[in-house]
Amino acid sequence: MTHSRRQFLSTASVLMAGAALPSGLRGMHRLGAADQLNIGAIGINGMGWSDLSSILKVPGVNCLGICDVDKSVIDKRLGELDKKGQKPTVYNDYRKLLENKDIDAVIIGTPDHWHCLQMTDAVAAGKHVYVEKPIGNSIAECNVMVAAQERSGKAVQVGQWQRSQKHFNDAIAFVHSGKLGQVRLVKVWAYMGWMKPVPVQPDGTPPAGVDYAQWLGPAEKRPFNPNRFHFNFRWFWDYAGGLMTDWGVHLIDYALYGMKAKYPKSIMASGGKFAYKDDAAETPDTLTTVYEFDGFNMLWEHATGIDNGPYGRTHGIAFIGNNGTLVLDRGGWEVIPEKGKMEAVPYNKSVDNGLDLHTANFVDVIKSGRLADLKTPIQTGRLVAVNAQMGNIAYKTGKKYIGTLKRSNLPIRTPISTAAGYHNGYKLPKI
Please tell me whether residues 294 and 274 are part of one structural domain: yes
Kindly report, residue by residue over 153-186, the tens digit of the pLDDT: 999 999 999 999 999 999 999 999 999 999 999 9
Mean pLDDT score of the chain = 88
> Which of the four pLDDT bands, split at 50, 70 and 90, describes residue 299?
very high
pTM for the complete prediction?
Answer: 0.88
Please tell me whether residues 60 and 147 are part of one structural domain: yes
CATH value at residue 222: 3.30.360.10
Instruction: Confirm whether 419 is domain-assigned.
Output: no
Kindly report, residue by residue over 33-55, the tens digit of the pLDDT: 568 999 999 999 999 999 999 99
Please tell me whether residues 63 and 204 are part of one structural domain: no
> Which of the four pLDDT bands, split at 50, 70 and 90, describes residue 376?
very high
CATH value at residue 91: 3.40.50.720
Instruction: Confirm whether 192 is domain-assigned.
Output: yes
428 or 327, greater pLDDT: 327
**Dihedral (C-alpha) 395, 398, 400, 404: value to the nearest 10 degrees?**
-60
382 or 14, greater pLDDT: 382
Please tell me whether residues 234 and 359 are part of one structural domain: no
For the cut 90, the answer to whether the pLDDT of residue 418 exceeds it is no
pLDDT at 34: 62
Q: How many domains would you assign to the chain?
A: 2
Range of the domain at 43: 5-161+355-377
Kindly report, residue by residue over 333-350, the tens digit of the pLDDT: 999 999 999 999 999 999
pLDDT at 407: 45
pLDDT at 431: 29
